[in-house]
């Protein structure tokens, strides 16, 4: 033993470590760490044993508002949608406006995009291409649709796996902006049922919610007001789950003018009906033309056959040539309808495959 150790005196006794396992040493943060590990273990067990036990992330909702010269109403519309759907992204698409629509919308808290080509169809095509979300809510920027009802449309998509929820205008006959608009809407809806089979009460409503798989499988070929018809035909052609919810419909703000033109837009809608019928149901389209052409040929040829049966003569040779040409044309149209019907079915299959490649809202 050294001299220094003797001078310092005996070494003090050190406290013995506790060996009782029932009384563990108290480490800083040990209780919080244990709780975190237990929660992580429960989450992992739920993920591997019951995937439904893991809470899903809330769907991303985008409110998309096409606008053309709606400075009088767009500020209120943006604020009402932000209040109804606080977590949603509100996006205004200015369609070649000449007023302060963009500035008013931006001041109200909306994101603003621009589409220079006029026409609602051009705007919808741009909105569907540029905006990424799980649920899309589309409404007009004129303030006629009830923003407080937006959660009902969004819930139909998110909870029931609906691909298109339409806010049917409940008071359209009372609030129609021009005489005859409500009646025209009713007649076009009846015509739609006759041509495309699936019935809607309001195919021209601009208040709709869509799933992501609807939006990303929709080709959007129209350029104007007839885009609502194309949206409805897309749902009918692919037999997608849809729902109509009657919602309040109001009048425009003072200073906001309607962009509809009764005769022009009515003619464009009829043309769109014919074009979509040709593309989606070519057998019916060309078959109807073939039947009408053949019926005309039979009516013209009946007197000639009667005269030939009585006298053995054919007195009107030009009419015979015309009837022959009509019969050949009818046969050609019938064959074209059959061939194009097969191609249309192939296109539907391709769109259906693209649609199924994306997850359902509750998938």
Averaged pLDDT score across all residues of the chain: 83
Name the β-bridge partners of 64. 91, 138
What is the rounded distance in angstroms from the CA atom of residue 117 to the CA atom of residue 131?
18
User: CA 3 → CA 6, 9, 13, 179, distances in Å?
Assistant: 5, 10, 21, 118
67 strand-pairing partners: 94
**Span 130-144, mean pLDDT?**
93
E-assigned strand segments in 127-188: 135-138, 164-169
Q: Decide which of 98 and 52 is more confident.
A: 98
The Cα-based distances of 244 to 29, 94, 251, 342, 359 in angstroms read 56, 28, 21, 32, 22
- Rounded to an integer, the average pLDDT of 290-296 is 96
- Look up the pTM and report it: 0.75
CA angle 110, 115, 119 (to 5 degrees): 110
Measure CA 259 to chain center: 22
Task: Give the least confident one: 60-74, 88-102, 105-119, 347-361.
Answer: 347-361
pLDDT at 5: 44
Render pLDDT for 226-277 as a digit per residue (tens, 0 to 9). 898 899 999 999 999 999 999 988 776 666 666 666 677 778 888 889 999 9
pLDDT at 282 over 90: yes
Q: What region does 312 belong to: left with phi over 0, alpha with psi -120 to 50, or beta?
A: left
Nearest Cα to Cα of residue 115 among 103, 129, 104: 129
């Amino acid at each position: 033993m050294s001299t220094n150790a003797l001078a310092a005196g005996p070494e003090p006794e050190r406290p013995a470590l506790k060996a009782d396992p029932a009384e563990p040493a108290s480490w800083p943060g040990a209780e919080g760490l244990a709780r975190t590990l237990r929660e992580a273990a429960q989450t992992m067990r739920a993920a591997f044993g019951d995937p439904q036990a893991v809470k899903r992330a809330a769907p991303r909702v985008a409110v998309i508002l096409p606008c053309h010269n709606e400075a009088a109403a767009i500020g209120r519309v943006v604020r009402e949608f932000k209040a109804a759907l606080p977590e949603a992204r509100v996006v205004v698409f200015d369609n070649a406006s000449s007023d302060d629509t963009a500035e008013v919308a931006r001041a109200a808290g909306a994101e603003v995009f621009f589409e220079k080509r006029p026409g609602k169809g051009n705007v919808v095509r741009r909105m569907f291409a540029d905006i990424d979300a799980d649920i899309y809510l589309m409404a007009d920027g004129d303030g006629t649709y009830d923003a407080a009802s937006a959660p009902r449309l969004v819930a139909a998509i998110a909870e029931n796996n609906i691909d298109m929820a339409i806010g049917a205008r409940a008071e359209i006959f009372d609030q129609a902006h021009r005489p005859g608009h409500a009646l025209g809407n009713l007649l076009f809806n009846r015509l739609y049922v006759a041509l495309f089979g699936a019935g809607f009460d309001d195919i021209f409503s601009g208040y709709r919610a869509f799933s992501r798989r609807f939006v990303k499988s929709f080709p959007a070929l129209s350029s104007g007001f007839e885009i609502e018809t194309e949206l409805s035909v897309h749902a009918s052609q692919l037999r997608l789950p849809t729902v109509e919810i009657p919602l309040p419909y109001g009048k425009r703000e003072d200073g906001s003018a309607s962009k509809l033109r009764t005769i022009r837009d009515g003619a464009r809608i009829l043309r769109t009906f014919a074009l979509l019928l040709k593309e989606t149901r070519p057998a019916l389209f060309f078959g109807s033309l073939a039947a009408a052409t053949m019926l005309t040929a039979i009516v013209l040829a009946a007197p000639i056959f009667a005269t030939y049966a009585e006298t053995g003569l054919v007195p009107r040779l030009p009419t015979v040539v015309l009837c022959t040409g009509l019969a050949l044309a009818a046969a050609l149209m019938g064959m074209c309808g059959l061939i194009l019907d097969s191609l249309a079915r192939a296109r539907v299959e391709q769109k259906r495959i693209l649609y199924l490649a994306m997850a359902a809202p509750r998938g």
